[in-house]
Every structure is written in C-alpha cells, then in structure tokens.
Chain A
Amino acid sequence: MTVDAAVGPTSARPLPVLDEADTAPFWRACGEHRLTYQRHRDTGEVVFYPRGQHDPALETCDSAGLGTVYTFTVVRQHGHPFFRAHAPYTVAYVDLDEGFRLLTEIDAEPGTLRVGQRVELHWEDHDGTSVPIFRPAG
C-alpha cells in the first residue's frame, strides 16, 4: 500500500477503474445517470455488484434510486488529500427498493442521519463517469 506522491492537496475524488471487466458496464451506465443492478430472469434473484455480462439469465435493470439507510458512519479522519479536505462526510450502506445494497456517500449534515432513513439518488459528474451519492429524501 503506497500513498501516491503525485496526489496534490487539491486532488479530486478518487474514481473507480473504468475498464475493470465486471464493473465497467455499471460505471458506464452511471455516466448516463442510470443506477443499474442485475436480476436473474428465472428466479428474480437480485445480483449486485454486477457479475460479468456473459450469463444470458442475468438481465440489467435500472433502479429508481430510492432506498433506506441500513447503516452509516461519519468519517472524520482520512489520509487521502481529497477525503481529508472533504471530512467529515457520511458513508452508508443503502438498501435500494429493488433489493440491492450499495455502499455510497450520503450528502447530509454530519450527525443528522439515522438508520432507516429514506434517501434518494443524486449524481456527481466526473470525467468518464458519474458517482452515485444520496441525500435524505423529500
């Protein structure tokens, strides 16, 4: 594990690798502001994170972007320059209504979020993709 010396104090949010084989289609869809998950055509089983695109039984679906906070933490200390400047920020597992669980950021005043709270999807646009983040619903 090394700290990237090229990362300056004004660095941007770290982004996923956009050509990783299984997750590239997910991040491409994010670039179109679509939050996608997979579902087994026969069993209805929800698959997430995405697995390959070679199983004909798996269909890709769009989420409505509404969910419930399963758990969260307020991160107050981080070694990466972006997150150090960004702290305190809230990271949560959100259970989407379609049945998949996503680790994400909640844009909320630290200390105000609760487990079980309803949240809705927003997009933070970047070069090559958009990052799904959530805000308290309504």
Chain B
Amino acid sequence: MAPRRAAIAGIHEHPLRRAPGRSKLQLKAESAARALEDAGLTFADVDALYDAGETGPMSGITVAEHLGIEPTVLDTTSLGGSSYEFHAAHAARDIAAGRSNVALLTYGSTSKSEARAIGTGARSAPDPVPGLNMEIPYGLPLIGNYALVAQRHMHEYGTTPEQLAEIAVTTRAHALRNPEAVAGLRDIGLKNVDELTVDDVLGSRLVADPLHLLECCIVSDGGGAVVIVGENVVAGTRKPPVWILGSGEAVGYPGNTRDLTTSAGAVSGPPAFVEAGVRPEDIDIAMIYDSFTITVLTLLEDLGFAKKGEGGSYVEGGRLRWDRPGAPALNTDGGGLSSNHPGMRGIFLLIEATRQLRGESTSQVDGARLAVAHGNGGQLGTRHSAATVVLGRD
C-alpha cells in the first residue's frame, strides 16, 4: 500500500438541486464552511486553494477574497467535470511536497436556475480554437458527441442498448435511496421519480442515436466542497481520514486514427492503481463520471474493471448495484444520471467515495475499504480529460 500523506478530512454536498437566488460563489462559500466544519477546521486553517474557474476568470483571486482566506498554494486547473480529481491529485502532491497542510476545493453552479441546455445547447464560440473551428458547421451537440462513442462501441463489440440502459437503471436505484437526490429530482421537475427498468430507458425518446433521454445526466444546480489535509493535520480532524493513495492524469483528442472506444482513462487509470498498490478487482466503490451511460461503460473498461469490449456484459443484471457482491458499487449517490449534474460533477465523486469509506452513504456498502473516483472532462468523442484518484480508509 502507498504511503499515506494526504487525506480527505472534510466534505459537503449542497443539498439543493434548484437554488434560485443563490450565486455560484454563495454555493461555494456555504459548502466550504460546512466541509471545514465537517473536518473540525476553520477558514483560517486553509493554506491551499484549488478552483476550476466556474465563477469566471482569475477565480483564484475571486474565491480567496470571497472566502477571506490567504492561500499560499493556488491551482486553478480547469478541465471540466474532471477538474476536481485533478485538484485532489495536485493537493496530495502539494501536501507531500511540504507546500501546504490544508487544501480547499469548492464548486458552485446555477445551471438549472439559468436554464442552461448543456447537452443540446446552441453554444457559440466567438474565438474558436482550430480543432473546434473545423466542427462548427456540423451542429454536433454534447450528447451527440458521446453518441459517436456509443455507436462505435456497439459496432465493434456488439454492445447493446439494453446493456447501456442497465447503467441508468442502477444509478436511479441508488438515487432513490438518497433522500437529497429524490427531493432534487422532484425539484428540477422530473415527472418520473420511480425505479427505472431497461424498457423505461429504451422507451424514452432518442436525443442523439443511439442515446436516449434517460441515458443522459440531469441538469441541476449544485455545490460542494472537499478539504484535503496532510498527515500531521489528520490527528486533529473529526472524521476518519480517507487517504489519497494514487492518481493519474491524461487527455485525449480526435487525431486521425484514435480508437474512439478507448478514452484517456486508459492512460490515467493504471498509474493511479500502481501508485496506490491496488488492483481494480480490489475496489469496493466505483465513482465514475456518469454524464451518459456510454461514459461509464467506456471507463469501466478503460480503468480495468472489464476487458475492452466486455463492459456491456459486465454491467448486466444490476451487477453494479450497492447490494451485489462480486463487483464494485457504482455511483452510490445516484450519480449525474439521477442525483445531480450541475455541469462539472467531479467533486461529488470525491464526496460520495468519502462517505462510503466513512460508512456514511445512503447505499452503504458493508466494509467498503477502497474507492476509485474517475473524472471525465470535456467531450468523450472529441477532446477530453481524465483524472483517476484511488482512495482508501485506514
């Protein structure tokens, strides 16, 4: 097992999925205060700030000023939904290097209140980068981008729509055990907040073939915070530490020969497991970015839970439900598919993994010891980022 130098000591997930009247900064500040309280620390203890910039440019300054903190380590790595796995990896690195002792990660989003159509939006880029400038005339929305991966996966490996649907069925089952997720689904106006069947998923309308509506994450408001501390601070914190045991980072982009069914997760995953000194089959909790069903299927393979092409059969029969032995439990908070997806949900992967390793989840896996949090940022079918973090309890 890897040396234990940095641990998650405080977490908070803002309960609201609709937070009209609140700003992103307010959601961040509120979450930060609660996460520090959870750790038994205060704002004065924070000496490192990590921020993905959702409040605007130069967010390292904005957020520090708003929180009234004076960090001496600043990291504004902004890689979409995966930003927070990058932040956790960097915080552990900075703590191990002796640069900081108490790191704060925060997130706040008002996507729902702003009625942002993330998946199908008419996004305009006034100053596009070259790769994007090649694609502007073709109207490929975010969901369509992931659909390109799903179509190729089905073609190469015979993956079926039923197998992809299993992932949405499992995350909904987990969401229904999470009162905040259930309240959230109602608050954002979902008509059906019951268990889903594979038929329900496949009976929902196609948004971008082969992906159906119920294979897409919801759009919500949300916020959260994570406090990461050095081993010398752990003794004074309130909750059992959740150690950052290993991490890996990568990016992927189209190129001319890329196998679209393999993501940058295949590069970020192995070093994370090696550093942690564990194998995928040791993992109890798989917190895997579920923007869409195909994201999870691809990443389960890329991280080594299933062989490439066998993700479909791997997820069959509710295998990744919290109460099934023999495979990790997937996204036990309900995930982006059924709990919350304010746009960049990577922070919630760290939060739920921590709950599980503390024994605090609403779908608690008995004796959960090891978790992986894998963030996918950007768009899987074109340009994306990947960060894998392996977490373990004492």
Contacts and interface: CB of A to CB of B under 8 A. Distances in A.
Interface of A: 1-4, 7, 13-17, 20-23, 26, 46, 48-51, 70-83, 86, 89, 91-93, 95, 99-105, 110-111, 115-116, 131
B265 to A, nearest CB: 19
Nearest to B119: A77
A70 B124 contact: no
A48 B256 contact: yes
A103 B382 CA distance: 10
B257 to A, nearest CB: 7
B150 to A, nearest CB: 8
B121 A75 contact: no
Chain A interface secondary structure, helix, strand, loop or mixed?
loop
B51 to A, nearest CB: 19
Contacts of A73: 140, 144, 147-148, 151, 208-211
A79 B119 CA distance: 9
A49 B124 contact: no
30 contacts: A1-B124, A2-B124, A3-B121, A16-B136, A17-B128, A20-B133, A23-B133, A26-B134, A48-B256, A71-B148, A71-B260, A73-B210, A75-B139, A75-B208, A76-B206, A76-B209, A78-B120, A78-B122, A78-B141, A79-B120, A82-B139, A83-B139, A91-B148, A99-B256, A101-B256, A103-B134, A103-B135, A103-B140, A104-B138, A105-B138
A89 B140 CA distance: 10
A98 B258 CA distance: 16
Nearest to B141: A78
B134 A23 contact: yes
B255 interface: yes
B130 A49 contact: yes
Interface string B245-268: 000000000111110100000000
Given A91-B144, A105-B138, 14 more contacts: A1-B124, A4-B124, A13-B137, A14-B124, A15-B136, A49-B131, A71-B152, A71-B260, A73-B208, A79-B117, A80-B139, A103-B382, A105-B137, A115-B155
Contacts, number: 134
Q: For chain B, what secondary structure do more than half of its interface residues adopt (helix, strand, loop), or is it mixed?
A: loop
B86 to A, nearest CB: 22
A15 B132 CA distance: 11
Interface of B: 116-117, 120-124, 127-128, 130-131, 133-141, 143-144, 147-149, 151-152, 155, 205-211, 254-258, 260, 382
Contacts of B143: 77
Given A17-B128, A77-B207, A72 B148 contact: yes
Nearest to A47: B256
A75 B127 contact: no
Given A23-B130, A49-B130, A70 B260 contact: yes
B133 A77 contact: no
B110 to A, nearest CB: 13
Contacts of A80: 122, 139
B309 to A, nearest CB: 15
A101 B255 contact: yes
B131 A14 contact: no
A82 B256 CA distance: 29
Nearest to B148: A71
Contact of B134 (A1, A49, A86, A111): A49
Contacts of A50: 130
Contacts of B382: 103
Nearest to B123: A1
